[in-house]
Amino acid sequence: MVGIALRGAAKLIPAWRHSVGLVDVGEGTFTLYAVTGDDSGVFDSGTTVSHAEFGGDLERLKVGEPDLVNGIELCPRAVGSLKGTPLRSQLLVPVLDEGALVATVNIGSRERRYFTKEHIALTQELARIVGAALRQVRFQQDLRQAHELAMIASRSKSAFLANISHEFRTPLNAIVGYTELLLEDTEDLQSRSDLWQIQRSSRHLLSLISEVLDLAKIESGKIEMELSDLDLGPLLRDVEAIVSPLVAGGENRWELDLPEELPQVRGDSMRLRQILFNLLGNAAKFTKGGVVSMRVRHDSGRIAIAIADTGVGIPAEDLPSLFEAFSQAHNTRVRDFGGTGLGLSISRRYAQAMGGDITVESEVGRGSCFTVELEAVVAMCEQNSA
């Protein structure tokens, strides 16, 4: 944008050279940022010189006043590098940012006494445009730098979590293994109850560590999806076999509504199972003596897997933030069940990475319905052939 402004100035004020220089008041230096015209080898773009060498009156420029020299060869501030060029008149107009001098717009002419009041006014307007352009450039640079720092921090966090999770998992896996061995050899009911509690707590910690690590991978863009065309029928039957005992443990009734014919979906089998286990596990956890169901529908090239329960439900004010990391409903009954608030956030991001999404409808006291939407392979083929 600065270059465009300079080229526009060259048309309005024909001269030997037009340039923009960045000013470092503290160092007393001037760096050419953009140049148009014939420089004759003097002060190429990127060159840094002192204000004295460039011939600008720094004190005038700092207070926002233009610096005009209408006879370079007669000006005591002009050094040899300027006197040895065709330059005879020079106009420097300051670019201020919040009252501070940050740059100058410079126009040089081969003619003495070339610049008029109209030229100065036009150059001052150009300086305002250049100031806005430089602020945009600095803003974009700050954004890039902030993004780079954020990515470095994210990678460092992921590396730290990966290392620390390994340090946690090793002893926890050992605890789980030893408790299983002790359970095989222990007949005392109280001891077995204590061992079961140790094992459940250890497995719970392992699950929490895995969730935190998964979230870190997702945020750093390191999560890998092994996408393939999936047959939903067998996959959902496998999920049913695992979760139905969990549902029955809360004295709930399990219902599965699965059409005989379903198109394939494009997804990651392991991640899709993880999504369904999380949603069904939540449904079973928050429902006692009710119904937990999974219904599958195919419509307009989309597959919808609806997981519903008749449990405690979620307050309406909590629904907008439900999928945010570490977010939990403020319902006291919900909080009594514990959890990190990561499962839904991770599940939704997995679904979105597979080209789908997860939505929710809920009412306190009546239950919730989470719907996983995925694109059918047949729909994707039709799009590709269109």
Residues 181, 366: Cα–Cα separation, whole Å: 43
pLDDT tens-digit series, residues 300-309: 788 999 999 9
pLDDT tens-digit series, residues 311-366: 999 999 989 888 887 665 554 454 555 555 688 988 999 999 999 999 999 999 99
| Pick from 89-93, 135-139, 228-232, 378-382: least confident | 378-382
Residue 117's φ and ψ, nearest 5 degrees, are -60, -35
Q: Go through 42-74 and write b for each residue having 16 or more CB atoms within 10 A of its CB, e for each that does not.
A: bbeeeeebebebbbbbbeebeeeebbbbbebee
| Pick from 65-74, 80-89, 171-180: least confident | 80-89
290 plus 205 within the same structural domain: no
CB 353 within 8 A of CB 223: yes
Share of the chain above pLDDT 70, in %: 82
- Burial class of residue 373 in the structure, from the number of CB atoms within 10 Å of its CB (0-12 exposed, 13-18 middle, 19+ buried): middle
| Pick from 5-19, 156-170, 241-255, 324-338: least confident | 324-338
CATH code of the domain in which 244 resides: 3.30.565.10
292 plus 363 within the same structural domain: yes
CB 257 within 8 A of CB 298: no
CATH code of the domain in which 19 resides: 3.30.450.40
Angle (CA) 358-361-362 rounded to 5° is 130
Interacting residues of 39 by C-beta distance below 8 A, sequence separation 6+? 17
178 plus 194 within the same structural domain: yes
pLDDT tens-digit series, residues 92-111: 888 888 888 888 888 888 88
The predicted pLDDT at position 104 comes to 86
The predicted pLDDT at position 221 comes to 66
Range of 361's domain? 228-385
Last residue of a domain, one of 111, 144, 177: 144
Residues 45, 22: Cα–Cα separation, whole Å: 11
Residues 22, 382: Cα–Cα separation, whole Å: 56
155 plus 138 within the same structural domain: no
Name the pLDDT band for 382 (thresholds 50, 70, 90).
Answer: very low
Residues 179, 196: Cα–Cα separation, whole Å: 8
111 plus 207 within the same structural domain: no
Q: How many domains does the chain have?
A: 3
Name the pLDDT band for 38 (thresholds 50, 70, 90).
Answer: low
Q: What secondary structure, in 3-state letters, does 256-276 show?
A: EECCCCCCCEEECHHHHHHHH
pLDDT tens-digit series, residues 65-74: 888 877 665 5
178 plus 237 within the same structural domain: no
235 plus 380 within the same structural domain: yes
Last residue of a domain, one of 84, 110, 144: 144
Number of neighbours of residue 248 by Cβ within 10 angstroms: 13
Sign of CA dihedral 258, 262, 265, 267: positive
352-to-11, 35, 329 alpha-carbon distances in Å = 52, 48, 22
The predicted pLDDT at position 254 comes to 95
Q: Give CA torsion, residues 68, 70, 76, 77, to 10 deg.
A: 30
The predicted pLDDT at position 261 comes to 86
Residue with tokens 């420029």: 61
